[in-house]
Chain A
Amino acid sequence: MSAANQTTLTASQLARQHWLGVLAKVPAEQLQQQWAALDLTPDYQLIRPPEIGLTMVRARVGGSGQPFNMAEMTITRCAIRLTSGTLGVSYVAGRDKRKALTVALADALLQEDTDQQLQQQLVVPLEASLQAAADARAADASQTKVDFFTLVRGEDE
């Protein structure tokens, strides 16, 4: 995400960008559990039924140079409209159509979530669990931090 692009976003776009990222990254099973517990059954119309495709992922030469096409990744997208007219969309890595539908529904409901209730019940705990998983991986990695010593050899003296 380029910084220039980011600065022009409105507060509501930034909020939407954030929850779409969290919902896409959380493991499907966890998302469905959290979603089912909320017992939400909004009326909606499918604008674009969940559809599986590929996106070409770009990386950069040397990590920070010119972009190049690295490899494709499977992705599922979906778009729905609530009876209120609000559009919800999803773009999630992988081939889980159910997850794509859930994320699209959540996206629409979160846009109407003026009292931040759904944000608190869905996005906040899922984001916390993503962070916990990342922390656990970082803790594992930090156990393997190494200090090498260079030995002075006799002939160098």
Chain B
Amino acid sequence: MYVAVKGGEQAIDNAHALMRKQRRGDTKLAELTVAQIQAQLPLAVDRVMNEGSVYDPELAALALKQASGDAVEAIFLLRAYRTTLPRFGYSEALDTEAMQIERRISGTFKELPGGQILGATYDYTHRLLDFALLAEGEAAQAAREPASSEPLEPCPRVLELLNQEGLIERSRNEGEQDQTPRDLTREPVTYPAERTVRLQNLVRGDEGFLLALSYASMRGYGDSHPFAGELRTGRVSVALVPEELGFAVEIGDMLLTECEMVNQFHGSATEPPQFTRGYGVALGRSERKAMSVALVERALRADELGEMVAYPTQDQEFVLSHTDCVSANGFVSHLKLPHYVDFQSELEMIRRLRREQQTSTQQTDAEQNDV
């Protein structure tokens, strides 16, 4: 238990001033601008937007600068900021099929309509440190040979398209009406949680935690045998319906990464053997995150698909109540705060227990000597 303490204001002020000095670093070096962070560390910015759960690259870059590059601290700052803003309603559901593709690959189908587009990727690099980046000035950019002069074709959603045999479950039944999804920022999660709430939770969840869980689910702690059906990155238009207009207007574009995993499923009493799907989406270019969300999302469907819930990766309450890095960080970090009174009482108790143990041992010894 934490008991409030008083005093220490001057030391705290000085500690914060020292933090600012340390953050600035060597003043002989130019100060990093927020625009530079936004432009040149975009993947770090994307992570902060994802777990901060606010799409605003400039704010995420500012948070990273303020947090000296500590992603979790930056995420905390962004979450705190979002609580100061009013909510102007909900957007229309995104049409990700109309995404302006900048990368799109499939691990299941070699040839697909629209083709495989690698985009900007670290895949297939040799992971050798590039010392050219350490040198001053612009790194030389290799001239690119056009691999294809064809314009991009439309990229329909692979799994829907290649499902003529009906071997993959559908994401929507014929004539199914839209339900209004629950919003976990407005009401707490109750268990069992709907698939829509689980997804909202996972999309804002800690990337490292979700990556580890998805790894575990494939290594034997989840009976998962997934394939990456489709992975795509690109811009999607965001629209909402302002009350005063009564029709939808586009407010801007959002860069997103979307992942669909296919998993084999042996069937149940009501469903034939087929491939089931796990869905993941993440803000920005966040492939690892989108894939992890898709894998964990599928693992958490165990109950609804009639699979045995045998591992933590399939346990909704275990997973969903521990995804949030702000909560996790808060709880771990609170141990740094003064627990003096609490600890004092435990100290007293340990002393008393020892005394009691000692007395009883002495008594036993005395009794044994008497015999």
Contact = CB atoms under 8 A, between A and B. Distances in A.
B172 interface: yes
Contacts of A37: none
A5 B247 contact: yes
Interface string A50-86: 0111111111111111111111111101010000000
A55 B97 contact: no
A25 to B, nearest CB: 6
Contacts of A139: 151
Given A54-B88, A55-B251, A72 B82 contact: yes
Nearest to B88: A53
Contacts of B146: 143
Contacts of B116: 145-148
Contact of A94 (B144, B250, B252): B252
B360 to A, nearest CB: 60
Interface stretch (B12-20, B66-74, B277-285, B331-339): B277-285
Nearest to A54: B85
A144 B54 contact: no
A94 B203 CA distance: 21
B289 to A, nearest CB: 12
Contacts of B178: 66-67
Contacts of A56: 87, 89-91, 183, 185
B195 interface: yes
A137 interface: yes
B353 interface: no
A93 interface: yes
Contacts of B152: 138, 141-142, 145
A36 interface: no
A51 B115 CA distance: 43
A58 B256 CA distance: 12
Nearest to B118: A144
Interface in B187-245: 195-197, 199-200, 203-204, 235, 237-240, 242, 244-245
A92 interface: yes
Interface in A91-139: 91-95, 134, 137-139
B56 interface: yes
A23 B49 CA distance: 24
Interface residues of A, number: 59
A145 B277 contact: no
B83 to A, nearest CB: 10
A106 B249 CA distance: 15
B96 interface: yes
B171 A63 contact: yes
Contacts of A95: 56, 58-59
Contacts of B87: 53-56, 72
Interface string B33-63: 0000000000000000110011110110000
Contacts of A58: 90-94, 181
A10 to B, nearest CB: 9
B322 interface: no
Interface in B115-156: 115-120, 144, 146-152
Contacts of B110: 148, 150
A24 interface: yes
Contacts of A31: none
B342 interface: no
Interface string B164-193: 000000011000101111111100000000
B86 interface: yes
Interface in B97-120: 97, 100-103, 110, 115-120
Given A21-B239, A71-B49, 20 more contacts: A51-B86, A54-B87, A55-B89, A56-B89, A56-B91, A57-B90, A62-B260, A63-B96, A63-B97, A63-B171, A65-B172, A69-B200, A70-B199, A73-B56, A74-B59, A137-B235, A138-B151, A142-B117, A145-B115, A147-B116
Interface of B: 49-50, 53-56, 58-59, 82, 85-97, 100-103, 110, 115-120, 144, 146-152, 157, 159-160, 171-172, 176, 178-185, 195-197, 199-200, 203-204, 235, 237-240, 242, 244-245, 247-254, 256, 258, 260, 277, 279, 281, 283
5 contacts: A17-B250, A57-B254, A71-B50, A87-B244, A143-B146
